[in-house]
Amino acid sequence: MKSVRRFCSYIEQREGILGYIYASPWIFGFIVFGVVPIFLSFYYSFCRYDVLRPPMFVGFANYKFLLFESPNFYKSIYNTFYYTVFRVPIVIVGSLLIAMLVARPMPGVYTVRTLYYLPSIVSGVALSVIWMWLYNPQYGLVNQFLGWFGIPGPLWLQSEKSSKFAIVFMGLWSVGGGRMIIFIAGLNSIPRELYESAAIDGARWWSRFRHITIPQISSILFLLTIVEIISSFQVFTEAYVMTQGGPLNSTLFYNLELYNKSFLDYQMGTASAMAWLLFLFTLGITLFLFKVVGSRVYYEYATPK
């Protein structure tokens, strides 16, 4: 018993060791379910591996197949780019506009914030099923609404021309949410004196928005833009539930093609290579944005007293 007490006393005196002991379950899980799969996927990307047989090293054959021989690889890249280019501005600008409407304290503003936040917590699968009904060409509410104005509704998910835009348009449902909360915090941190001085000088609302609001929250805009770009590159649930990549591969996004390669075709090596190409491309886009846009972002640092 004395040795156990001495050991416990030694541990308590070393707060760092005690912290590592408390964090050991998370560290173990991170290594087993995070670090190890990352290194295994990197190794498998250079192998021919179908799960049923041991992996066989083939060098860069998987990457060569994707870049020069795969029939759907560049189609999935195009679809993902289309989704990203149209979705990111919609969710960023829409969330900013909503945040500006509900940023200032007024009667009922907290209820309005809650209502705008609630759609963002709906499950992606449930949301996709709801929009499948909304997009129904015959009974969907979207086409019925257009019919009130004499506009013939398209086939939406059943047409190659409108399927990608239909999935992009779903982004309007989640406008707000966590992005709105972050924007509200940024807007409320802007000193009111800046707006008062600009108003005294005769600046109108657009000038105040352009020269005060945007520069002051530019760091938030930069952060959310990077996060939303990365999130858009990983789009999967909507296309998997609603279209399975159709019609005519018009909604075959990159992650859906990766899923098909791994769990339908059992080409785990090719799927691992796709995952690493996505990682490298995402890393390149992020570094490019930091290089080109990062220097123009305004950060307010606290002045030491």
- On the question of pLDDT at 305 being above 50, the answer is no
Residues 252 and 226 in one domain: yes
- On the question of pLDDT at 236 being above 90, the answer is yes
Task: Tell me which residue range forms the domain holding 48.
Answer: 2-65
Kindly state the average pLDDT of the residues 169-188: 86
Residues 138 and 280 in one domain: yes
Residues 22 and 87 in one domain: no
Residue 14 pLDDT = 64
Choose one of 65, 90, 108: the last residue of a domain: 65
**Total number of domains in the chain:** 2
What is the amino acid identity at position 103? A
Alpha carbons 170 and 62: distance in angstroms, whole number: 34
The sign of the dihedral angle between the CA atoms of 233, 236, 237, 242 is: positive
Contacts of 279 (CB under 8 A, 6+ apart): none
Choose one of 16, 45, 65: the last residue of a domain: 65
Nearest-Å Rg of the Cα atoms of the chain is 25
Residues 60 and 185 in one domain: no
Question: What's the pLDDT tens digit per position in 249-271?
Answer: 999 999 999 999 999 999 999 99
Q: Is residue 301 part of a domain?
A: no
The tokens for 255 are: 């992650």
Choose one of 24, 45, 65: the last residue of a domain: 65
Residues 132 and 10 in one domain: no
- On the question of pLDDT at 289 being above 50, the answer is yes
Residues 193 and 233 in one domain: yes
Question: What's the pLDDT tens digit per position in 71-92?
Answer: 899 999 999 999 999 999 999 9
What is the CATH number for 207? Answer: 1.10.3720.10
* pLDDT band, very low/low/confident/very high, at 134 (cuts 50, 70, 90): very high
Kindly state the average pLDDT of the residues 6-18: 63
- On the question of pLDDT at 43 being above 90, the answer is yes
